[in-house]
Structure 1
Amino acid sequence: MDLDAVLKLASDLLHASERYVSPVPPEVLMTMAHGGRDDWQQSAELRAGLYQGLDLLETLRFIERMAGYNVLLTDRGRRALAQQAGQRVDFEGAAASEWIEMQELNAAMSRGLWADHTTFNRLTVENWRQFAAIDIEFHARLTVLTGVNAAGKTTLLNLLAPHFSWNSQFVASRRGVEESTNPTHVGHLTYSNGVRAAVTQDPLWAEGVQQASVTVIGRQDVAGIFISSHRTVSGYQPLQHMPVRFSEAEALLQEFAAEVQTRYNGGMSNFPPLYRMKEGLVSAATYGYGNKAVVASEEARVVWEGFQEVLARLLPADLEFENLLVTDGELLVCTSRGRFPLEAASGGLSAMLELSWQIYLRSRRVEAFTVCIDEPENHLHPELQRSIVPALLEAFPNVRFILATHSPFVVTAVADAAVYALERGSDGTVSSRRLQSVNSAASTDETLTNVLGLSSPMALWVENGIREAVADLPPDPTVDDLRRVQARLSEIGLSSQFPAAIDAIADRSNR
């Protein structure tokens, strides 16, 4: 639907809202705007256009959400209607222009591969938990959320997790009696098909700390997977049996994800996730080529060979990965320097294997999809942290990644990305800030201080040593004074930190 048609629908919705003096579900307005007929729900294009029109009205504050879902005409909206005297409303001003520009950008992004695949466009959160104002516009390939501990990176990812059958846990305590009967407004989630869904927290029925459920009202189907920050530790376990047939990739993914979810929720099972991965790959190798008595499975062959192609692009170059090999029921990782069992892989390598296995299996069923990863740097050496994101983007060109991270290497992984810093204000609440010019060529120290908010990238003992070395300097130190500082630093093994000491002296002089 073209933008002018969307603007007309927004005008029709605004006129329809004038009929009601109390809040009504947005679907009621849509039916009235469509001449009282509810068949708009049968047309994906019309439905998306109506939701876009509703989004514009909320952006301009012509209508407002009540209790997180129902909508009501505002005084601002009444004034806009009065100025038009029953005619089509013209949406003007900076806010309307910005909204129109964003819709044009979203439309451009949705063309081509993503035209037939629904994904996330925008997430807003207002005055919920520690958040004051969160506004995330998702990038076409890579969105990165960063910030200090307890800023809320994982919480924001968890708002998206239910789309991928991942049961996230929210814990809350009731702050007032109204929270026991009414949903708490959280924010809105806008999809690429134009639907703007309200996000609410369900009522808290009891006093004290309890599990809180969050609902996305009008949630759309979004293909993808959610990978939590909890990486599994799997010991060696021989295969106990061979499946009588090769399972489809979707079934393999569900088996793997079920084991991960069980452990995430504190449970245990007889088979760790890595066992399920080994079972699936050994089965693929066994049934992929067949023999005189077994008919080959094309799907098994594609999974066996395709996953190895992904590993060749994703695993670090210095590993010199060659192929996977099955011998005596064991899965071996073969490199130019030798072979080792899957379970003997390092923690970092195991994390990359499990990560790539899940994404690859999803790619067998869906052409384009979204992957949310909480702390992809977990268990990875800094060199792997530096390369993991570019490698994922190369190995899976049709995937959009949404990451939460503490790593400066992940933050600066690629130049073309949307990076948001979650920052705590003076009142303790957290807001988002999009970093307009994240320098992918910046040093780790620069990223730690400028993006992640670290006061200094130096170790505390180094910082204290420099502070003590310059403590007795006069306000205007002489050359001899600076030489004494240099000598003190040399005595405690910090001669290389003399430039940092000069910076500390300059900072002190500027106060």
Structure 2
Amino acid sequence: MKIESLKIENVGGISSLSIEKFDPKLNIICGENGIGKTNILDSIAHCFSQLSNFILKRKSNCVNGYITIVCDFNRIEPYTCLIESFEPRDYNQNPYDFRSKLLANFDSNYSNLIYFKTERLFSHKWISSLEIYDEVENHLKNLDGVSIQLAKDWFIKNELLSSQPYTNDNDKNSIELAKKAFGILNKSYSFSALKQDMEIYINTPTGIIPYEYLSSGFKTCITIVWGIIREVQVRFPDIFVKDFNGVVLIDEIELHLHPEWQGKICNALTTLFPNIQFIISTHSPHVIQTAEANEVIALSRKNGHLEKRTLDIAPYGFKGWTVEEILTDVMGMRDTRTEWFRSKQKEFDNALDANDVLNANKIFNELRLKLHPSSTDLALSRFQLDMLNGRYK
């Protein structure tokens, strides 16, 4: 399954949005805070959800909201989800239930979507007895996101069973792929062993440690990689995860990642899972810096109406762009400098125009202390000051 286009009308804070074409492999949604990136992911998940208590709301003061999705299996009859205005009389009443109609329309394709929300960290968990039964229904709550509650039990169970002759090849391959999660962004880390104390140990440059004591960046990667593998294994036990041809949504993919890792995460995921269509949101220029032109969905907004901006300035992608160029031309930042710098630069220019040597020297000394030693702005200011001081005639 691949999502091909999306249209949203009066849902959440979005009055209208039309994305005519998604890339079949990777889609990076970016835009300012509050523009609706998470709302877009929620809207997609809403159309592929079952057994969830989460209810997406239509926009305030609107009669109804609509989400229309075209996938590679419903091109002729796109599915439109109605978000009604009816309000429940009490908290236990579902104000609308479209899921029976949804499942009849989409058949079993709701199983092909996996959603990662922003909660990806975990703490140490003592294992006294394994919870080994995963109910399929518990893995279809796409609006709630992938649960990490039994991830450790899942890994231990599969590692223990991997050496047994009756374990099928799919499960063996899945646990081997899960072990790679520890080193996908830093090869100096790797799986060490599962010991009798039921702890998962990891080789690190400073020694062997339980996996829960890895950094938050490692935990984020583990949650995503293990989550995909586990969801596919539970939902489709006869399919090897690398053959899974579905959709994965990830909200704010850069969370807890060092900028260097932000620039690696998309390539790592698309390499590990070559048949998955990823639709992610981000605030990170380092994530966008690794993208092809057709993989970036840069949003702009006017009165609640969103549109995908045309990025004709980058027909061959962003892999040669600087972070500053992406921040200004893709992400819409007015200036990458701080307000303090802009204010001081204006004061310095005014002093130059007024031939105020004393004040110009004072402001330059402030700039010299706070700008990077190799700054071209500092070099230019020094030259201008020398001209004002009469050192060049």
| TM-score interval, normalised by the smaller of the two chains | 0.7 to 0.9
1:238 aligns with 2:126: yes
Q: C-alpha deviations, 1:459-504, integer Å up to 9, x for none?
A: 33333333333243429x899998886455225556655528969x
Distance 1:373 1:165, change over 3 A: farther
Equivalent runs, 1:10-25 vs 2, <5 Å = none
SS in 2 for 1:306: helix
1:135 Cα deviation from its structure 2 partner? 2.1
Native 8 Å contact 2:88 2:94 kept in 1? no
What CA distance in whole angstroms lies between the structure 2 residues aligned with 1:440 and 1:212? 47
Paired amino acid for 2:115: F
* 1:490 correspondence with 2:368: yes
Structure 1 counterpart of 2:311, one-letter code: L
Structure 2 residue 141 is the aligned partner of structure 1 residue 282: no
Which of 213, 217, 228 lines up with 2:117 in the alignment? 228
Shift of residue 324, structure 1, vs aligned partner:
4.3
Aligned to 1:358: 227
1:148 corresponds in structure 2 to 32
Aligned-residue Cα RMSD (Å) equals: 3.8
- Calculate percent identity across the aligned residue pairs: 20
8 Å Cα contact 2:120-2:219 kept in structure 1: no
Residues of 2 paired with 1:257 and 1:149: CA distance? Answer: 29
> Structure 1 residues 494-503 or 279-288, which shifts more?
494-503
Letter in 2 for 1:238: W
2:172 maps to 1:301: yes
Amino acid across the alignment from 1:355: I
Going from structure 1 to structure 2, the CA distance change for 1:471 and 1:375 (only over 3 Å counts) comes to same
Q: Secondary structure at the match of 1:170?
A: coil
Counterpart Cα distance in 1 of 2:206 and 2:366: 48
Please report the TM-score for the alignment, with normalisation by the length of structure 1: 0.60
Structure 1's 435 and 500: CA in aligned 2 closer, same or farther, altered over 3 A? farther
Are 1:499 and 2:377 an aligned pair? yes
Separation in 2 of the partners of 1:303 and 1:215?
34
* 1:325 matches 2:325: no
Report SS of the residue matched to 1:454. coil
Are 2:145 and 1:273 equivalent residues in the alignment? no
Q: CA deviation at 1:122?
A: 0.5
Question: Deviations 1:111-133 (Å, cap 9, x if unpaired)?
Answer: xxxxxxx3211002245543344
Give 1:464's aligned residue.
343
User: Counting helix residues as a fraction of each chain, which structure ranks higher?
Assistant: 1
Q: How many residues align?
A: 355
Deviations 1:448-468 (A, max 9, x none): 111111112223333333333
CA distance in 2, matches of 1:354, 1:150: 26
Which residue, 176, 179, 186 being the options, matches 1:316?
186
* Larger RCO (CA under 8 A, 6+ residues apart): 2
Shift of 1:413: 2.0
Shift of 1:137: 1.2
Which is greater in Rg? 1
**2:217 maps to which of 322, 336, 348:** 348
- Could you tell me which runs of 5 or more consecutive residues in structure 1 were left unpaired when the two chains were aligned: 1-117, 265-271, 504-511
C-alpha contact 1:315 1:321 (8 A) present in aligned 2: no
Distance 2:37 2:333 in 1: 17
Is 1:379–2:248 an aligned residue pair?
Answer: no
CA contact (8 A) 2:6 2:20 kept: yes
Superposition deviation, residue 148 in structure 1: 0.6
- Secondary structure at 2:264's aligned position in 1? helix
- In the superposition, relative to structure 1, how do residues 483 and 174 fare at CA in structure 2: closer, same or farther (>3 Å)? closer
The one-letter code of the counterpart of 1:308 is K
- Give, in whole Å, the separation in 2 of the partners of 1:256 and 1:241: 22
Matches within 5 A, 1:324-473: 324-335=193-204, 337-364=206-233, 365=236, 366=239, 367=243, 368-415=245-292, 417-425=294-302, 427=303, 429-436=305-312, 437=314, 438-473=317-352
